[in-house]
Amino acid sequence: MNTTIDWAQLQLQAKAASDQAYAPYSHFPVGVAILASSGRIYTGCNVENASYGGTTCAERNAIAAAVVAGERQFAALVVYTPQDKLTPPCGICRQVIAEFFTPDSPVASCNHLGALQSWTLAELLPDAFTPTYLAASTKVKS
């Protein structure tokens, strides 16, 4: 995969997605933009529910939208939140990201101040629980 990452465009689209968030309980709107290996960008926002278990994070909504469109490989992900502290994906989102991104994929967080911080997926979720990891871990060593 040799996809050029336009961080400014991903940040703009993540911010626009956060403007659509439905967050009446937490008041914490989150937007995400992901770059597919095809070059297309997909977005998602968090959608809360009075029964918190029914809430869906922006990362999972963006990935689901891309999967519905036929995408399976991704080059980068940007999370936007309107707060000073940069916010990486939560634990369950890290696991879902690991299903479709490579360990060296960049996962970034940005905010209303224009700050941007990036990690690799492996830094956010070392030894991720994925089919590749499971296949490697089930081999018996003599």
Distances (CA, A) of 104 to 34, 42, 79, 127: 15, 20, 17, 12
Query: Which residues have C-beta within 8 Å of that of residue 76, sequence separation ≥ 6?
Result: 3, 5, 7, 10, 34, 35, 105, 106, 107, 108
Residue type, 97: I
Single out the catalytic residue among 48, 59, 71, 99. Answer: 59
Q: Catalytic: 59? A: yes
Q: Listing from the earlier edge strand, what are the strands of the sheet with 116-120? A: 41-45, 31-36, 74-81, 106-111, 116-120
Q: How many Å apart are CA 75 and CA 77, to the nearest integer?
A: 7
Catalytic residue list: 59
